[in-house]
Amino acid sequence: MTESTMRDVSDTARWVAAFRAIESARPDALFHDPLAATLAGPRGPALASGTSMWPTVVRTKLIDDLILDSLRNGCDRVINLAAGLDTRPYRLPIPGEIDWYEADLPAMSAYKESLLDGEKANCRRIVVPVDVTDTAALAEFLAEATAGAERALVLTEGLLPYLQPGEVRALSAVLRRAPIRWWMMDHWSPAMLRAVNVILGRRLGTARWQFGAPLDFFEGWSIDAAHSTFRAAARWRRSPAPLWGSALLPDAGIGPLERSRLWCGVVRLTNAGWQEREAAQHEESAQ
Ligand SMILES: C[S@@+](CC[C@H](N)C(=O)[O-])C[C@H]1O[C@@H](n2cnc3c(N)ncnc32)[C@H](O)[C@@H]1O
């Protein structure tokens, strides 16, 4: 195994943090993440060298914008599952009254906290080590993290491809049962999963991608917002020139997005259970 091979799934957090550091140094940067270089550490640049950074850069900006949009539309809690080395509470204008929860594997959480000591976040940040594939531990964490919130948003950025389909199904069911309004994620359909495993090959080491499915995989969730990575990358001049034509495609791609086996992008899903609860409350208060 070389320095540029992922040793474990948490190395992928150093990998994407290195991309954010490189983007932040551009004069036309789509975002500024001043902590990214420190968090990526010496391994981050080695993992990043020779791999394409534009899909990560573009998804970061799409998710930044969609989080701020959710906060403008009543989101009162953010729960970042598999937060890795994400620093949005430090670099985005998150209102001070927002509680922002972060969960990741214990070693990653400890590594990040050791480097963030002394840094000040814009909102209250609560860090809890959780293995999201342990459904009992996840449900317990969500009960704590959603307490007192009316419109909680869960973010799983860069997580699902590393899980097995059964683990994603179980995660989806736990989230659906919790009082969660929105679930935001980067989404990869089956053709994209295959392409990434071929392109990155041995680089991924033990962190080979395992999950990619059409969006109708997520039972009990409906699509609330969808932004194509290819389209945004072309618009922002981040993808290779041969892909610039993607700027002309609709955000939802061609054909029904729910069943697309080719699409990749950022989506915000709405919990059908939450919608039903809200409709019932409206009916009660109207009587
Ligand atoms: C590609 S990184 C993404 C990190 C961050 N969300 C971002 O976009 O910068 C994947 C993250 O998933 C975390 N992860 C993988 N499996 C996990 C699990 N079972 N429970 C909690 N976190 C997990 C890793 O530790 C790592 O931080």
Pocket of ligand 1 (CB under 6 A): 9-10, 12-13, 16, 82-86, 104-105, 108, 131-133, 157-159, 162
Total tally of structural domains belonging to the chain: 1
CATH code (residue 197):
3.40.50.150
Does residue 30 lie within any of the structural domains? no
Does residue 200 lie within any of the structural domains? yes
Atom in ligand 1 nearest the alpha carbon of residue 155: 6
Q: 123-176 pLDDT, tens per residue?
A: 999 999 999 999 999 999 999 999 999 999 999 999 999 999 999 999 999 999
How many A from CA of 82 to the centre of ligand 1?
Answer: 4
Residues 6+ apart with CB under 8 A from 181: 75, 150, 151, 152, 153, 270, 271, 274
Q: Taking a C-beta distance cutoff of 8 angstroms, is the pair 17, 10 a contact?
A: no
How many A from CA of 109 to the centre of ligand 1?
Answer: 10
Structure token digits, residue 167: 């683990």
Structure token digits, residue 212: 């990619």
Does residue 105 lie within any of the structural domains? yes
Does residue 49 lie within any of the structural domains? no
Predicted pLDDT at 2: 67
Predicted pLDDT at 1: 53
Q: 230-255 pLDDT, tens per residue?
A: 999 999 999 998 888 888 888 888 88
pLDDT above 90 covers a percentage of the chain that reads: 86
Does residue 46 lie within any of the structural domains? no
Does residue 15 lie within any of the structural domains? no
How many A from CA of 93 to the centre of ligand 1?
Answer: 23
Q: Taking a C-beta distance cutoff of 8 angstroms, is the pair 23, 52 a contact?
A: no
> Which residues span the domain enclosing 109?
54-286
Query: What is the SS3 assignment for 225?
Result: strand
The preferred substitution site among 105, 138, 171, 203 for testing ligand 1, maximizing ligand atoms within 8 Å of CB, is 105
- Residue 99 — φ and ψ, nearest 5°? -90, 125
pTM above 0.85, yes or no: yes
Q: Taking a C-beta distance cutoff of 8 angstroms, is the pair 214, 189 a contact?
A: yes
Length, in residues, of the chain = 287
29: exposed, middle or buried (C-beta count within 10 Å: 0-12, 13-18, 19+)?
A: middle
